[in-house]
Chains A and B, each alone.
Chain A
């Protein structure tokens, strides 16, 4: 499951543009993953310029 790290997103929309199933909602300063649509392809995680998106597993690790 893809999650958004708290207080990190810049709301730039890069992830929205590459998402193949349109599973990311982005407003002025509000982002959310629509988990019903998400296919866990992880493309959004790769493309994010500031590594805001993550999967469950690495979320537990403290960020360097």
Chain B
């Protein structure tokens, strides 16, 4: 008998949701987290939509740093387009949020081991049967019926299982994120700076974190990252726009904006979250999509253990459900993202000038998209398809 039914590699939102879903159905689950802490370091903008979050958990003041009521988008020459968006989302304290999700998994019966660095998959007769890992200088092994890899952007487990290849530069945002204190911003507004002037091939964000704090970061598209250093771009931005702000945290990170991997399962193994490339390619948001993917993976894994078929075929509901729940849209979002991030600074300014004449109340995301479509008509087709789901 294997040590566990399911081993989850990685204790972020995707891993915790997978563990929670599987343990809730009675599976014996172990989460192996490589870092000392669940939820740290935070490599994230920390914003989620209200609708997305509520699919999985109710917002909790313990980890909601700010509620979003307003959105501002700025063009390359800093023309601001504002629109009201009451209660549309939250900026989280990921450090606490990730803890809460892991605790939820633990309360459903999952065990958690931190500082467990998985560096080998145990494969027998083409079936994944466990992992080998390092813990406090010792080599350990655990066997399991299914391994769920939620090991983040690096996706090393997926590589070991032969499921993933390297990400292309055009599908990777080279990012830097800072949590800053002593900053005067509208604590109900998320603020986006779009265009090469701010963040070549990506965007810069200023998100409120409550108590005169903010999460500020940016991503530069990999194909342009040769000439830019995200850390320096953030430093310069802060100096120029928020000279009083001081950095409380600064971390580098990569955001995969690729399409979801063609294959996210094999015999005894499932990939989820960033590791499966589930990040929304337009927004770069990966919390909700990771939670979604993790939950589906955990549920399908628990069901497969019950039926006893842990082969690729036995796990095949997982990619089907992901596809049905939005995976197909994910590919369209990827095309939309390529269009949006290819709009040049002059065109972005033209769009912003048109929109800035309208009042906050007149504007909506739809109107913004329509203005974008005047510059890039192809986007209309992709967006329509994405929302219509065909």
Contacts and interface: CB of A to CB of B under 8 A. Distances in A.
Given A49-B225, A49-B229, 5 more contacts: A10-B251, A14-B172, A14-B253, A27-B134, A43-B169
Nearest to A42: B226
Contact of A49 (B35, B167, B231): B231
B248 to A, nearest CB: 16
Interface residues of B, number: 34
Interface string B336-364: 00000000000000000000000000000
B35 A47 contact: no
Interface string A1-45: 000000000101111111111100011100000000000000101
B252 A16 contact: no
B256 A17 contact: yes
Secondary structure of the B side of the interface?
A: mixed
Contact of B166 (A13, A17, A26, A28): A17
Interface of A: 10, 12-22, 26-28, 43, 45-51
Q: Which 6 A-B pairs have the closest CB atoms?
A: A14-B254, A13-B154, A49-B252, A49-B230, A46-B226, A10-B252
Contact of A20 (B166, B229, B256): B166
A13 B176 contact: no
Contact of A17 (B172, B229, B252): B172
Interface in B217-245: 220, 222, 225-226, 229-231
A22 B252 CA distance: 20
7 contacts: A13-B153, A14-B172, A17-B167, A26-B154, A27-B117, A46-B226, A49-B254
A48 B172 contact: no
B369 to A, nearest CB: 30
Given A28-B34, A49-B231, A22 B166 contact: yes
Nearest to B227: A46
B164 to A, nearest CB: 9
B28 interface: no
B275 to A, nearest CB: 9
